[in-house]
Amino acid sequence: MMRARTVLRGFFRDTRPVWELGLGAAIALLLAFAAMHLAWLAVHFGQTMLIILVLGACYILYLVRHFSRLAYGLVEILIGLFAIFGAMGRAVDGVADAATLVQMAAGMYVVVRGFDNFAQAQPFKGGGAAFHDLWTFIRRRKRTE
């Protein structure tokens, strides 16, 4: 029982994953806001400026992926879910055209990529990581029940 307390204390004491997930959620909200106001952006910014803004956003997302895979993974999961739900909303009476099926498959792929970035994030890496220890504790507990 002492090992379980140590694992849980280590998991809850490390707040970096919480901050990274918060960063990912904030980025996803900003991207959703930009997507909802894309028409306004296209009218008020020139095409060249819009391209520069998009390239700048891409570079910022690359940096987030490089320095915080957990945040980037959450962004990918949320964007993938938006794509999946968007495809589901486009399917009329349960019938989907090819574009809807491609959108659904793309959303699923992006969600899987998000899970992969979660797996490569620092909290999940290595045998001594807090999430890994907690996961091992939970699995060990299920086997004994």
Residue range 62-110, pLDDT digits in tens: 999 998 888 999 999 999 999 999 888 887 777 778 888 999 999 999 9
pLDDT at 16: 76
Q: pLDDT-derived band of residue 6, with 50, 70 and 90 as boundaries? A: low
Number of domains forming the structure of the chain: 1
Beta-bridged to residue 95, according to DSSP, are 92
Domain region containing 121: 2-144
8 Å CB contact between 20 and 64: no
Considering all CA atoms of the chain, what is the largest pairwise distance in Å, rounded to the nearest integer?
Answer: 63
Q: Flag whether pLDDT at 9 surpasses 70.
A: no
**Most confident residue range from 4-13, 20-29, 114-123:** 20-29
Q: Which two tokens stand for residue 70?
A: 């957990």
Q: Answer yes or no: are the C-beta atoms of 134 and 11 closer than 8 Å.
A: yes
| Residues sharing a CB contact under 8 Å with residue 17, sequence separation 6 or more, in sequence order | 70, 121, 123, 130, 131
- The 10s digit of each residue's pLDDT in 15-60 is 777 888 888 899 999 988 988 888 898 888 888 998 999 999 999 9
What pLDDT sits at residue 1?
47
CA distance linking residue 51 with residue 81, whole number of Å = 25
Between these two residues, 62 and 128, which has the higher pLDDT value?
A: 62
pTM for the model stands at 0.70
Q: Can you tell me the distance from the alpha carbon of 71 to that of 67, in angstroms, rounded to the nearest whole number?
A: 9
CB 104 within 8 A of CB 84: yes
